[in-house]
Structures are given as C-alpha cells and as structure tokens.
Amino acid sequence: MDEQLYSLVDRLNDPTLLKTNVISWGCPVPSFGDLANSKIATIGLNPSNREFVDENGEELNGTDRRFHTLSSLGIKCWAEAKQQHLDLILRLCREYFNRNPYDRWFKKLDYLISGTSMSYYFPSSQACHLDLIPYATSVKWTNLTTEQRSSLLELTGDSLGILLKESPVELLVLNGKTVVDNFGKISNIQFDTKLMENWMLPRKSNDGVPGYAYTGSVRKIGGVVLDQEVFVLGYNHNIQSSFGVTKEVQMSIRKWISNSAKEIFA
C-alpha cells in the first residue's frame, strides 16, 4: 500500500488536479477501513469534504479528526511527505471505523451489506469503502463543472485499479447511478441491467422512480489489470441522497445483495 499511497500523494503536486476544487491540504483517502482485510468494498464517487471540515468549514481537529492534513502532519507541502507521514495516513484509513466515522453517511451503506455478515465495523471489519476518486473536493460532485469532473476521472481513474489489484476484495457494491455510470467509464465491465419492481420510489406527481439492479464482473479498472476477477453489484438509487428511499426499498436492496453475495462467496 505504501507505493500506491505515495503515487496518490505525489499527484497532489499536479497543478491540473488542483484546478478541480480538490482540498489540496487534505491527504488522499485510499480507503475507509482496512482494505487488506476486506472481501467486500462499497464504492462511491469521492470523499466528502466533511471528512476534513466541520459544518462551518473549519478543519477537524483532536478527537474529531478523521484524516490527516498538511498541518496535522507538520509539513508545508506534500513534496515533504516521508515514510513516517505515509504510515500515519494509512493508520487513520485502517482505523477509520473504530474512531470517528461519518456514520450519518456510512451506517446506511453498512446496513445494505450487513446481510452478508460482513461489516465496516468491529468485530467483522471485513468490508471497506473505496471511491472512484480518492480526493475530497471542497464542493459536492454535482457542483463541480463538467470539465472538472472529467478531469478528475482522467487524472485519477487508475487509482481504484491500483488499490484493488492485489487486494482480497471479491465484491464491489456501487452506490447509485452516477457511480455506476462513472465506474463504467473507467473499467471494461459490461453490466446486466434488471428492472426491480420492489425498488420503485413513490412520487405523488407521477408513477414513481423505478429501481434498477446492475450486475457484472471486472478484470481491468483504469487500465490496471487486476490479479483476479472481481464481481460487481450496483443499484441506481443513491441511498443517502435519493429522495424517498423507503425502508422497504432498503430492505429489498439488502436482501438482493445478500443473496447475490452467497453465490459469489460460495
């Protein structure tokens, strides 16, 4: 992991990357949880700015801190990062769910995968979270320009493949249609898409928002050939932000993931 993290840290010196609203003083986030111990990884777009700042935009400190920054590491720029700094960054990544996780976001995802008996949290710790782009941005993905989003994928699209290449992860769970679409852009996957009647989100003004399940497998991500085939499950509803995701829909997605995982891990 040291080599992979060094590559991610080094990219923070790229002026092109810095034009994408990346939080330049925050470290890359290669994983939330222990990737080396995980069989399942949920996939999102990129880390939230709330992993680094509070609701007032101030840097998290003390026991509130989730990840390292230039100031917490005591360096002025990422070019000064040494092995001891990489070790500190990786430690907080591994210990993320044992310290101060952003539960408001992660608890819903953990519920969806918990039917597999694997979890982000102790005592399982056999699941982790990864992002397509391992850098937090100061604004949400939807508020980035089209050019910035394209640039982020182009500059960092190989990072997920680099992290997964030698990992024990056998199953990826993609959270929402935007993640599904962008994962497709950086991989060689061919999704099987299925309309799921039980995943319909009710709406007063129309028939509702249909739910779709995506399944497939992948051997190459961002041009990186993985050491093993990795299975992929996805759903179009963003569990945290899609309006009207009912408990019934969440339960149905959870059951689908659980049943699919039984076949994968059989």
pLDDT classification of 244: cutoffs 50, 70, 90: confident
What lies within 8 Å, CB to CB, of 232 at 6+ separation is 171, 172, 173, 174, 183, 189, 191, 214, 215, 216, 217, 218
Write the pLDDT tens digit of every residue in 68-114: 999 999 999 999 999 999 999 999 999 999 999 999 999 999 999 99
Higher pLDDT, 153 or 125: 153
- For the cut 80, the answer to whether the pLDDT of residue 155 exceeds it is yes
Give the distance, in angstroms, between the CA of residue 250 and the centroid of all CA atoms in the same chain: 19
Tell me the C-alpha to C-alpha distance, in Å, between residue 98 and each of 94, 132, 191, 205. Answer: 9, 23, 34, 43
What pLDDT score was predicted for residue 98? 95
What pLDDT score was predicted for residue 242? 65
Please, what is the Cα angle at 56 between 51 and 59, to 5 degrees? 45
* Averaged confidence pLDDT in the chain: 94
Both tokens of 166, joined, read 């030698």
pTM (two decimals): 0.96
- For the cut 80, the answer to whether the pLDDT of residue 166 exceeds it is yes
Write the pLDDT tens digit of every residue in 247-258: 999 999 999 999
Percent pLDDT > 70 in the chain is 100
Write the pLDDT tens digit of every residue in 174-213: 999 999 999 999 999 999 999 999 999 988 777 889 999 9
How far apart CA 254 and CA 109 sit, in angstroms, is 9
What pLDDT score was predicted for residue 204? 79
SS (H, E, C) 231-265: EEEEECCCCCCCCCCCHHHHHHHHHHHHHHHHHHC
Among candidates 145, 159, 184, which has minimal Cα distance to 14?
Answer: 159
Both tokens of 232, joined, read 């992929």
Most distant pair of Cα atoms in the chain: their distance: 57
